[in-house]
Structure 1
């Protein structure tokens, strides 16, 4: 099985998020993320939130998760950030998702089969979070919000995800304070499945972005 796009759920998540977040400025990226989450129909949604960041992304993810009946986990860096997050969500009248506190590697070890992941680029461990994530065999969508210059310097998806997954496509979208999005597929078992296939798969790597393009020869 693999992640399959569902336009109906994407539309519902988008509309509900737009209604909820219409009072916020610069909410376009939230509506986009919510629609993407609903459309890809993930079973596990993980967010890595940063203290001092806007709470609207969490609101959008929560709306999408409720439409999907998916598990939604938000990672915060410490107990102070947890309290800040809980207070902000309650102030906006939004349910608080499942919260976990701790270092990236320790937390991600407890969250297997991640299918949709949103990381705040302001976090110092943003690169590490993507690197240690245990992604689903169905594939995964990885999103970085608030992509400041520090996050983008020297950043390449292929270096972050390593050989555990294959980058299918990626994009940089100039909404909010910048979005970087990648769709990756699982590499485990690919060698076995290719042995019985006489077609030849050809890969090309974009040297500037690190994006891998795969096509049948």
Structure 2
């Protein structure tokens, strides 16, 4: 097999494999996606340039990497537990304006790095932050205190109310037992609320969350 054919073959396999992985920005790639891209990039280059080796020595491992990565992505989509193991979970680093040093240590994130990430989101003063959450992809999500939000409540000197993080009560058709327990909410109460929104079974609910003002947000499976 000449070098031109090998080059085209490696390009086609690499292109098809990346199409299988889906359209994601670099910052949205999971750890196993990054590992796969690094490995297949090396093998694709070897397939194109190592003319003395059998092409199948590279083709089958390439296809295997893409197949395994696709399988892990599929399992992550179907299982919350697998998703948490493979991709991690969001971690609160600032709660009610207080820095959670223990969570910073768990993330191996220094105070300087936290401040840098805040500045990247145009937040230069920690006292403005109500909540900050480190997402699995490394991005920092920030909820500002009401007076500092861009709706100009501070400029207008309007009275603002405390707004904490909403609590997920149902996720992908299943009750969040720990959340219900922490809020002192019973399943029967929640089902009554769901029935009031014309929801017959909890299995119909993709996501249900309760905010600090008692408002229940419901997203149904049928919304897909």
TM-score range, shorter chain: under 0.3
Structure 1 or 2, whichever has the larger Rg, is 2
TM-score (norm 1): 0.24
Structure with the larger RCO, 1 or 2 (CA within 8 Å, 6+ apart) = 1
TM-score, with structure 2 as normaliser: 0.23
Whose strand fraction is larger, Structure 1's or Structure 2's? 1
